[in-house]
Amino acid sequence: MNIFGLFDGLIGMQGSLALNILIIIVKIAVVVGITMLHVAYATYFERKVIGHMQVRLGPMRVGPHGILQPIADGIKLFFKEDIVPDGADKPVFKIAPIIPVFAALSSLAVIPFFEGFVIADINIGLLYILAMSSLGAYGIVMSGWSSNSKYSFLGGLRSSAQVISYEIAIGLSLVGVMIMAGSLSLNDIVKAQQQHWHGMYLIPQFIAYFVFLVAAFAETNRAPFDLPEAESELVAGYFVEYSGMRFALFYAAEYMGMIIMSSIAVVCFWGGWTMPPVITNAVPAIKMVPGIVWFVGKVYFHIFLYYWIRATLPRYRYDQLMALGWKVLIPLALANIVVTAIVKFMS
């Protein structure tokens, strides 16, 4: 469906207009609610997983095994004072944290979680997500600049350069998938993968998947590419001057970014909510399992990957990061596009 078609549809059906809007609002509420819950518990599991990897226990105090820790954190941040530095550019400073959250939440609108469940199935879904993720850089740049602090500024500069560079790699890596699926709609991409026995573009597009994964880590400012917030050098990078709820927004945006990047990886490379035909044909009973289970499971795996790599790899140096992006990932992605296009043209 066309974006504007969605709009037409809303207006066209005068009788059921209210109902339509209601359904959409409910869908949005469900998706946002569940995502926020995931964001909260992603922080908890990050601390737990990394803790165990480093032979620690992680949070243990609040509730059994610290299970209520994120809620305690959330309440604390919510009631903390919202400090705006004296020399800050106030309007920009205040708007900055909202932008990444807004961009991340908007991206959720086009992700198909399971068969038929997507808030807006638009035919340029992938481009839409790229557009939204490209806006994330504004939050970083604006907060870095408006805080009137050198740490923030350096973090902002580093991060914006990094995010812009790796956005190219992300976009290019997805082109291979677009070529194979012949569509930009995430729904169609999932369905196109079912045409193959393996049911996942992970196999023919392994280069693209590698590039995407690395670039996604950089795009979300996660280790080993977490230079913008390198705590040992810049304290917390671009959002060092933030406190209370606004700080929490940046934090939430980062985790939402992780979830969205994982979802894209799952949709574009792991067959979304489906299982490979080779498995479903062998064991038809698997078809009985609802798609959301597979989708969520695959997303959890990717999020675990984020933690795993953070606990394993040291941080890159800045010039190494740029060299990797421009001299390795982008050429790889370009080569992948050429090869994919030739293969598609030949068959």
Partner 1 sequence: MLSKLFFGYFAVIMVALSLLVITRRNPVHSVLWMLVLFFHIAGLYLFLNAEFLAAVQVILYAGAILVLFLFVIMMLNIKVEITAERFIGEWPIGVALGLSILMLIYFTTSKLIQGPAGQFSIEAIKAETHTKALGKVLYTEYLFPFEIASLILLIAIVGAIVLAKKRG
Toward partner 1, which CB reaches closer, 219 or 229?
219
Toward partner 1, which CB reaches closer, 69 or 162?
162
Per-residue CA distances from 3 to 16, 71, 122, 123, 185 (Å): 19, 37, 6, 8, 12
DSSP per position, 219-237? HTT-TTS-GGG-HHHHTTG
Please report, as residue ranges, which positions from 117 to 156 form the binding site for partner 1 (by CB under 8 A).
Answer: 122-124, 127-128, 130-132, 134-135, 137-138, 141-142, 144-145, 153, 156
Toward partner 1, which CB reaches closer, 46 or 219?
219
Instruction: By CB under 8 A, tell whether 345 contacts partner 1.
Output: no
Instruction: By CB under 8 A, tell whether 98 contacts partner 1.
Output: no
Nearest to 214 by CA among 329, 133, 126: 329
Toward partner 1, which CB reaches closer, 76 or 90?
90
Q: Please state the closest distance from residue 136 (CB atom) to partner 1, in A.
A: 9
State the number of CA atoms in the 13 A half-sphere of 81 facing the CB. 4
- Cα separation, 134 vs 329, in Å, equals 18
Q: Please state the closest distance from residue 272 (CB atom) to partner 1, in A.
A: 20
Count of residues that interact with partner 1, criterion CB under 8 A: 32
Instruction: By CB under 8 A, tell whether 11 contacts partner 1.
Output: yes
- Cα separation, 127 vs 302, in Å, equals 22
Task: For residue 117, report the phi and psi dihedrals to the nearest 5 degrees.
Answer: -105, 105
For the record, the structure tokens of 94 come out as 């205040």
For the record, the structure tokens of 181 come out as 């699926």
Q: Please state the closest distance from residue 26 (CB atom) to partner 1, in A.
A: 24
Instruction: By CB under 8 A, tell whether 4 contacts partner 1.
Output: yes
Instruction: By CB under 8 A, tell whether 159 contacts partner 1.
Output: no
Instruction: By CB under 8 A, tell whether 167 contacts partner 1.
Output: yes
Toward partner 1, which CB reaches closer, 69 or 187?
187
By CB under 8 A, name the one of 67, 164, 245, 309 that touches partner 1.
Answer: 164
Instruction: By CB under 8 A, tell whether 5 contacts partner 1.
Output: yes
* 78 burial level (CB within 10 Å; 0-12, 13-18, 19+): exposed
Please report, as residue ranges, which positions from 233 to 252 form the binding site for partner 1 (by CB under 8 A).
Answer: none
By CB under 8 A, name the one of 53, 92, 98, 341 that touches partner 1.
Answer: 92
Instruction: Answer for the pair 244, 92: CB distance below 8 angstroms, yes or no.
Output: no
- Cα separation, 127 vs 167, in Å, equals 12
Instruction: By CB under 8 A, tell whether 14 contacts partner 1.
Output: no
Give the list of residues 6+ apart from residue 237 with CB closer than 8 angstroms, or none. 144, 151, 152, 154, 155, 156, 158, 159, 227, 228, 229, 230
Toward partner 1, which CB reaches closer, 91 or 116?
91
Toward partner 1, which CB reaches closer, 278 or 323?
323
Instruction: Answer for the pair 66, 44: CB distance below 8 angstroms, yes or no.
Output: yes
Name residue 117's beta-bridge partners: 114
Q: Which residues bind partner 1 (CB under 8 A)?
A: 2-5, 11, 89, 92, 122-124, 127-128, 130-132, 134-135, 137-138, 141-142, 144-145, 153, 156-157, 160-161, 164, 167, 171, 184
